[in-house]
Amino acid sequence: MTKKEIKAMISLLEDHDNEVAQHVEQRIVALGEGIIPFLEEEWEETLDSDLQKKIEDLIHNLQFEGLHARLKAWKESGAENLLEGMWLVNSYMYPDVEFSDITKTMDQLYFDAWTHMKDEMHPYDQVKSLNNVLFREKRFSANTKNFHSPANSMLHLVLESKRGNPLTLCVIYMTLAQRLGMPVYGVNLPNLFILTYKMDGVQFYINVYNKGLILSKADIDNYILQLNLNPIDIFYEPCSNLDIVKRALRNLAFSFEKMDDLEKATEVTKLLAAITDDESGM
């Protein structure tokens, strides 16, 4: 379709005949995300608030469907790039944030951390060095004041504000650690996401939410005991990138529930179902 034809079609959204307007909406949705710039142009040019609302809803639906498809594709291609998965979560609220914006910030953090690393450092010293850069120099910390804010699940906002929840802070830490050659992975503890350093018989844990505090297996045992849970492997061993992104989506849905925004919570649960085999979202 030419630009002129697209604009003519969009103008029919104002048609008083409901059937015509609905038919036009269906055609617009079928065209996919490529039509969004034309819809935005129309939004700016019209003074009709009802039409603006209709266009806003259409844009949101197009972006949501596109994100749904990209998340599925990310999972089906092996869910290898964790940052990409977290950026897709980020895209739910901030579709205009580019992946390159996030990687650029992470590249700078990596360079700053790399300059502090020395050859043949003991694992504990590697962790202390990274802790020093992230928590003392860069001043990353836990967002305890607004723990349930959806912003805590938005990676680009956490990189900007340097405040986040356990999961997003762990993603930043783990991504940097792995780029530095450290065998650091996520661990899906109940109510708290942490990291483990695991290689050649050496294993300990890192509580990034508490400024990179080093924990032993006994500390994890005690934590599980306090929650009256049975100690199962999942609480001690590395989890996958897919598990991390699923947890990020669960966190985001929970944040919206806390804010009584059930519409957004439902949408995020649909995104979770897209990357969950049994489609139940759990």
pLDDT exceeds cutoff 90 at 280: no
Could you give the count of Cα atoms lying within 13 Å of 208 in the half-sphere of its Cβ?
32
pLDDT digits (tens, 9 = 90+) for 85-114: 999 999 999 999 999 999 999 999 999 999
DSSP track, 211-272? TTEEE-HHHHHHHHHHTT----GGGTS---HHHHHHHHHHHHHHHHHHTT-HHHHHHHHHHH
Contact between residue 171 and residue 208 where contact means Cβ atoms under 8 Å apart: no
pLDDT value at residue 278: 54
Q: Higher model confidence: residue 19 or residue 230?
A: 230
The model's confidence at residue 178, banded by pLDDT at 50, 70 and 90, is: very high
The SS3 assignment for 275 reads: coil
Q: Which residues contact 231 (CB under 8 A, 6 or more apart)?
A: 221, 224
pLDDT exceeds cutoff 80 at 180: yes
pLDDT value at residue 28: 84
pLDDT value at residue 281: 37
pLDDT value at residue 19: 80
pLDDT digits (tens, 9 = 90+) for 190-207: 999 999 999 988 999 999
Question: How many beta carbons lie within 10 A of that of residue 210, not counting itself?
Answer: 14
